[in-house]
């Protein structure tokens, strides 16, 4: 037996698979996970994403470095500004949908804000992203005298042609991998529990005492050579 085969033979997973009535746990877990993942990918409505970009520019007498700081601040409160403004009216959605479906991201090197909206329809995603961008532009113009910066449109959102949600085959693949991982964990945990239970039972069961010689029994002495 080569030394390279020793780690494989000592693997707890291989020992569990060799145990009768346990080998089926792993393929069954993969099958169940793939079925659930494929069903989720088939039944879930496709989701589209659209991104609009705005940039923060300094005023005539403002420090150019201040634009980067205000871009970070506007990015953190983008959805709040959109809700207090007219973004929900322009997008045609409720405030709850706007908060849960729109995300803003900033860059540490440039005063730019990307606004990404997700929706079941491509046109709705575009209108939400552009609506939030428009709300930021309007709000910045109202307070430009105090901040010294304003937000301008850099690039409007384009209508997506493909969904960003995972397809049914990809969901089935991910579900099968997750099911196989859970099945392997079950196979690894059950033998350890069985070993602990057996060890606990052996400690609780008193060992049989070895009977000693009866009283008055003469033990023959070894003969001298």
Question: What's the full length of the chain, in residues?
Answer: 225
Q: What averages of pLDDT result for each successive group of 10 residues across the chain (225 residues)? A: 49 52 64 64 73 91 84 90 83 88 91 93 92 92 88 93 67 65 67 54 53 53 51
Rounded CA gap, 199 and 151, in Å?
70
| Domain residue ranges of the chain, discontinuous segments joined by + | 23-44+166-191, 48-155
pLDDT of residue 64: 80
Burial of 29-53, coded b for 16+ CB within 10 Å and e otherwise, reads bbebbbebbbeebeeeeebbbbbbb
Q: pTM of this prediction? A: 0.59
pLDDT of residue 33: 67
- In CATH terms, the fold of domain 48-155 is Alpha-Beta Plaits (3.30.70)
């Amino acid at each position: 037996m080569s030394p390279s085969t020793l780690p494989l033979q000592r693997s707890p997973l291989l020992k569990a698979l060799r145990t009768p009535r346990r080998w089926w746990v792993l393929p069954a877990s993969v099958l169940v996970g793939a079925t659930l993942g494929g069903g989720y990918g088939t039944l879930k409505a496709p989701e589209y994403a659209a991104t609009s970009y705005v940039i923060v520019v300094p005023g005539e007498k403002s420090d150019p470095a201040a634009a980067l700081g205000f871009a970070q601040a506007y990015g953190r409160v983008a959805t709040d500004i959109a809700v207090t403004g007219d973004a929900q009216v322009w997008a045609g959605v409720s405030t709850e949908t706007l908060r849960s479906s729109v995300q803003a991201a900033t860059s540490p090197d440039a005063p730019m804000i990307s606004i990404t909206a997700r929706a079941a329809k491509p046109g709705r995603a575009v209108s939400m992203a552009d609506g939030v961008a428009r709300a930021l532009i309007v709000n910045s113009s109202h307070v430009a005298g105090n901040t010294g910066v304003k937000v301008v449109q850099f690039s409007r959102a384009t209508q997506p042609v493909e969904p960003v949600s995972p397809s049914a085959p990809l969901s089935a693949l991910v579900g099968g991998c997750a099911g196989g991982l859970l099945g392997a964990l079950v196979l690894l945990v059950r033998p350890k529990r069985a070993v602990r239970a057996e060890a606990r039972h052996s400690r609780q069961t008193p060992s049989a005492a070895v009977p000693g010689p009866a009283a008055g029994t003469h033990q023959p002495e070894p003969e001298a050579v």
